[in-house]
Chain A
Amino acid sequence: MVAGWFTGEGDDFRLLGTRCSACASVFFPREDHHCRNPDCGGGELAPVPLSRRGRVWSFTDSRYRPPSPYVTDPELSWEPCAFIAVELEPERMVVLGQAAPGITVAELAVGLEVEVVPGVLHEDAETTWTTWHWRPTGVTA
């Protein structure tokens, strides 16, 4: 579906962006064709792992089932899903993601440290779609 957005397993799991060889700009989701810095003549865009940890820029949740193309099982009742927008200091960027399962807005605060962990977006009989989740550090699943 979207290839090459993350890599590794367990403690080595990382979001994968790209970095411009000319101006060092970082892009996520990965930019593979042209550097988007308007002052850059354009360099090679090479994959780069993003910081594993960051701080909560903001957070919210979705109390109602999102529409397609989000895939959910309509047979199951909708469980509110939390979202965390995370500020990555070295990259100076904010990356949005779902919170790890079980994490609710009650456990979150702006400025809290979180880390990226592997997660499952959806699975059916044939396929498991993997994704990334943000989880407060010190919390283990």
Chain B
Amino acid sequence: MTEEVAVLGAGMHPWGKWGRNFTEYGVAAARAALIDAGLEWRDIGAIIGADTVRGGYPGYVAGATFAKALGWQGARVTSVYAACASGAQAIEAARAQILAGLADVVLVVGADAAPKGFFRPAGGDRPDDPDWLRFRILGATNPVYFGLYARRRMALHGDTPDDFAQVKVKNSAMGALNPFARYRGRVTAEEVAGSAVVADPLRLLDICATSDGGAAVVLSSMEFARGHGQAEPVRIRAVSTVTPRYPNTVLDLPEIATDSAVAVDPPEETFRRSITRTAYEEAGIGPEDLSLAEVYDLSTALELQWYEDLGLCGEGEGVKLLRDGATALGGRIPVNVSGGLASFGEAVPAQAIAQVCELSWQLRGEAGDRQVVGARVGITANQGLFGHGSAVIAVR
């Protein structure tokens, strides 16, 4: 088991389509996290930026951009790009610096102003980029992959489009209670069924939007936290950043094909399952210990998949868990009480940090109307393009 680090502060800029520069969102989130931690920017020894890619390089959407905006003060800087897992890898980098004694207190920031419409690769002819290829050769957008997963669940487990809609109904009900969420309206199953099909069998309200937003956390050593009057802070006990194992036999974005299992048998568990298992092992806990989970519900159907990959239920039993109310607020294991991506939309480098913000508030008992009573242990899970895995476990 790895040593723990403290979450001293958490902050967000509300998600939406605000039409401003991403730096504004990141700085607002960073200042909120610093205030929450009771620290000044000058107290921070290192800043880590979760990046995104613009014009083919992570460039200005990086750690130093936030450091400059906050005012150059000489802090150590790190910039991390790992697609949707960027935020978790930024937290991992902060933890590594703290545990290595390179910094006592670290600010982690992620923010983005997402382009309108479908995500798409950077410009130019780049046939060596699998993301460029899937768009150029196939026109395979992200929803196409979500549709493939959803249809596969229907064939394998008997899930129905109405089951998928119920995930949206649940998450929108919780997002309605979250002042940082972009969508604050409750959605009915009829509204999901009445929205346009985007990628059969998924409809517009089954698929998350793209958003602007920002999130930040202040992490420190346990010694620093105690010295700062925080005897029992929220602590990060595990950060899983594993890659898949060959042969990866689930068709993952942005690939056009899976690895072939003709020479080597596939691993016993899928990539997504290995992401969460690694986190559990590092934390020394199991799914039965969880109070809540925040997972990447890029589509409603994908949230059901995460239930199984988190070990909350057996394979194919995700719908049953949902129907039993176990994953709703007040249920045995609430999932996406923040409202999830269904209510936030994607602001890629911010979202994995936002998940940890939600855990922090929940574990401190400061989540207001969406508070999970007595929350002690929370997990986040996501998967980033190109084989980036991510899960964080926080405890109180």
Contact = CB atoms under 8 A, between A and B. Distances in A.
B373 interface: no
A28 interface: yes
A111 B152 CA distance: 10
Nearest to A35: B263
B118 A37 contact: no
Contact-size category for B: 35 or more
Given A24-B262, A94-B251, A1 B152 contact: no
Interface of B: 117-118, 120-121, 123, 125, 127, 132-141, 143-144, 147-152, 155-156, 196-202, 246-247, 249, 251, 256-264
Interface in A9-41: 20, 23-29, 36-40
Contacts of B202: 60
Contacts of A109: 155
Contacts of A123: none
A121 interface: yes
18 contacts: A25-B247, A25-B264, A28-B257, A37-B246, A58-B152, A58-B251, A61-B147, A62-B139, A64-B118, A66-B139, A69-B121, A71-B136, A83-B138, A83-B144, A83-B147, A94-B258, A96-B134, A97-B138
A96 B140 contact: yes
B199 A60 contact: yes
B262 A26 contact: yes
Interface of A: 1-2, 20, 23-29, 36-40, 57-64, 66-72, 81, 83, 85, 90-98, 105, 109-111, 121, 131
Nearest to B127: A2
A67 B135 CA distance: 8
Contacts of B134: 96
Contacts of B139: 62, 66, 70, 72, 81, 98
B135 A70 contact: yes
Contacts of B135: 66-70
Nearest to A71: B136
B205 to A, nearest CB: 14
Given A58-B152, A70-B136, 11 more contacts: A29-B257, A60-B150, A60-B199, A64-B141, A66-B140, A67-B118, A70-B139, A72-B139, A83-B144, A85-B251, A94-B257
A81 B202 CA distance: 15
Interface centre among B117, B132, B247 (most CB of A within 10 A): B247
Given A57-B152, A61-B199, A1 B256 contact: no
Given A58-B151, A105-B200, A96 B251 contact: yes
